[in-house]
Structure 1
Amino acid sequence: MTYTGDVTAGGPADVRDLPGLTISKIEVGDFGNNAYLLRCRETGDGVLIDAANDAPRLLELIGDRPISKIITTHRHPDHWMALAEVAKETGAETIAHPLDAPELPVPVTRPVEHGARVSVGVATIEVIHLRGHTPGSIALLYQDGHLFTGDSLFPGGVGNTQGDAARFDQLYTDVVERVFDRLPDTTWVYPGHGKDTTLGAERPALPEWRARGW
């Protein structure tokens, strides 16, 4: 089956098999949140990105193979409603940026800053700090080709900054400098809600995003 990233609440996971990782995407909760399970193909180690909601469904997705880490992309509650239960059941390390960590329902056992590396078995993902949606929003990058953006980048624009011009300017600048200026058009974007996209599909609209201010 070809991966599309199109998932629905209560529907099956969409699974992408890469040479080093398997990526499973599901939608959970009432706000159309995406959760992503990354598994190392060599070791079987797993990392969950955003225990957003519906802990039983996330635990079913994880199954009987362990995960070592849960990464929360940012502080907003719709991205961590199942964090306490999934962390308790799995014993996984909890990871977030220190600026958002105090808002989470469980202690963050590993704070991460911009440029940090997080292992998924023998694979590695990189933390990219994208300030603006929240102070500690992060994206996770795998091999310059797969970018998990939380609520900082979507098809059609950057994340919500509640009409705050300074926050928008910061987020837009970070997304341009730390994502678009660095990564190729083929980079696949896995957002915190809704459908996936690519940097190539979004790049032509950057001037429009800047002009409209959201």
Structure 2
Amino acid sequence: MSGDLRLDKVVTAGTFSLDGGVWEVDNNVWIVGDDDSCVVIDAAHDAEPILQAIGDRRVTAILLTHAHDDHIGAVRELREATGAPAYLHPEDRVLWEMTYPDETPDEDLVNGQQIPVAGSVLRVLHTPGHAPGACCFVSDDLGCVFTGDTLFQGGPGATGRSFSDEDTILDSIRTRLFALPGQTVVHTGHGDDTTIAAEKAALS
């Protein structure tokens, strides 16, 4: 069944707000699945283009790499439209509550957990640093990892704001992401793809 597995990308635009600042950002939303069902990785800004890309497929999970407001702004609408549960690492509840003080995620993410998707699985890696509950999702069948804001083309995600830490993100990247095969494609939360090998060479 995993031979039918495919990846769709949607780019949504909006703002990121934290520590009193507001920035205009474009976010990558990733949809992993087949013709029948899928999961959404990050529900950023605007649910409508995400729902258009989903089409008539059943959404089995909304997986959140972390809870900065630009990555979860469409969670409520997406949950209501699809009935899918939202998964978030519990250490990111402090950020989640800034956007949704009266709601909670449906499920906790745990390091090493396997999330079923269309006859395949996504493996959860807890990679704190950019945010305390930041997680990445590995698809061995697709040969890729979805890194949110933990690792970009050109290096680690930002750590200059509240609830982030540079030493922690570097340790997460070196011990968990760089353990993946070098040819693994890195699908990021913003901007272009890269590979584990390219970023490992730049950070070594």
TM range (shorter): 0.7 to 0.9
| Counterpart-to-counterpart distance in 2, 1:174 and 1:59 | 32
Which stretch of the first structure deviates more once superposed, 132-141 or 32-41?
A: 32-41
| Counterpart-to-counterpart distance in 1, 2:125 and 2:147 | 9
2:110 aligned with 1:118? no
Of 147, 150, 157, the residue aligned with 2:148 is 150
User: Which 4+ residue blocks in structure 1 deviate beyond 4 angstroms?
Assistant: none
* 1:86–1:205 Cα change, 3 Å: same
More strand by share: 2
Q: What stretches of structure 1 of length at least 5 have no aligned partner?
A: 1-17, 208-214
Three-state SS of the structure 2 residue aligned to 1:32 is strand
| Counterpart-to-counterpart distance in 1, 2:48 and 2:157 | 28
Q: What stretches of structure 2 of length at least 5 have no aligned partner?
A: 15-24
Q: Give the aligned residue type for 2:193.
A: D
Three-state SS of the structure 2 residue aligned to 1:185 is coil
2:45 aligned with 1:39? no
Q: Percent of counterpart pairs with the same letter?
A: 36
How far does residue 26 in structure 1 lie from its aligned partner after superposition? 1.5
The equivalent of 1:64 in structure 2 is 56
Deviation per CA, 1:87-116: give whole Å up to 9, x if none: 111000110101113533342111011111
How far does residue 68 in structure 1 lie from its aligned partner after superposition? 1.0
When the two structures are superposed, what TM-score results if normalisation uses the length of structure 1? 0.82
Deviation per CA, 1:159-202: give whole Å up to 9, x if none: 111079x821111011111111x211100000000000111222
| Counterpart-to-counterpart distance in 1, 2:201 and 2:158 | 20
2:12 aligned with 1:28? yes
Three-state SS of the structure 2 residue aligned to 1:136 is coil
Is the Cα–Cα contact under 8 Å of residues 40 and 123 in structure 1 kept in the other structure? no
Matches within 5 A, 1:129-140: 129-140=126-137
Is the Cα–Cα contact under 8 Å of residues 101 and 111 in structure 1 kept in the other structure? no
Three-state SS of the structure 2 residue aligned to 1:186 is coil
Of 169, 172, 175, the residue aligned with 1:174 is 172
| Counterpart-to-counterpart distance in 1, 2:48 and 2:70 | 16
